[in-house]
Structure formats: C-alpha cells, structure tokens
Copies of this chain bind each other. A is one copy, B any other.
Amino acid sequence: MTPASRQVLKHVLNQHPSLDLVFQALSDPTRRGMLERLSRGPASVSELAQPLAMSLPAVVQHLQMLEASGLVTTRKVGRVRTCQLDAAALSQAEQWINDRRSGWERRLDRLGDYLAETDPTKGSKP
C-alpha cells in the first residue's frame, strides 16, 4: 500500500469506521489465526508467520488487510515490526452483531409473552 492510498484509507476509516473492512478481514481463517495469536500478546511478523504454511509475502499481505481494517496496529523498531491487536476495532464489530441479535431476541421475547397471554388453555372462561 502506498503512503497516499494509506492516507485515503485512513480518512475513509475516520469518516465511517469501516465495518466492511473489519468483517472482510475476519472472513479468512489465516487472518483469524493471526488474530488468535495476537490476542495472547504482541508478536513480530516472523513470529506470526512461523506456524503458517505460506510465504512471508503472503503473510504480509494478510497482515496489511488486518492493518487496513484497524484490527491490528504495527510499529517498527529497528528491523523488527511488532504487531498488536486493537480491541476497539474488535469491539465495534462485536457491538454491531450484538445489537442485531438482541433486537431479534427482544422481539422473540415479546412474541413469547403475547402467546402466553393469549394461551387458550389459560383462558379466564367462567
């Protein structure tokens, strides 16, 4: 990614926190494996690559998608790039799902209440 396109991306992300990119990043098992590893603590790029049966450039490409989504931040000290999870981006995706799920469950609860209230076997017949 060029600095210019990184800049554009950053701008877009700031405008509308991009759930598209977050969920896109999460949709791949290799990237989920990398996040799983990073949830246990920061790691260098080579540590991330070590258990993966793929070339380093392929790992870097996955890492770039994770960075673009905001799920991972990296910083370079000397010759080592260290990767770290960003819990805020994870929270944002989690919250979106949670809001939909609880909306749906509230609706089911209301439906359950309604059915219980109108249950003919519990009717108040004389």
Q: Hey, which bits of chain A sit against chain B, CB under 8 A?
A: 19-24, 26-29, 32, 35-36, 38-41, 85, 87, 90-91, 93-94, 96-101, 103-105, 107-108
Contact = CB atoms under 8 A, between A and B. Distances in A.
Contacts of A36: 100
A27 to B, nearest CB: 4
Contact of A98 (B27, B94, B107): B94
Contact of A100 (B20, B85, B105): B85
A90 B94 contact: no
**Residue with the greatest number of chain B CB neighbours at <10 A, chosen from A97, A98, A101:** A97
Contact of A97 (B93, B100, B101, B105): B93
A90 B38 CA distance: 23
A94 to B, nearest CB: 4
A52 B22 CA distance: 23
Contacts of A85: 100, 104
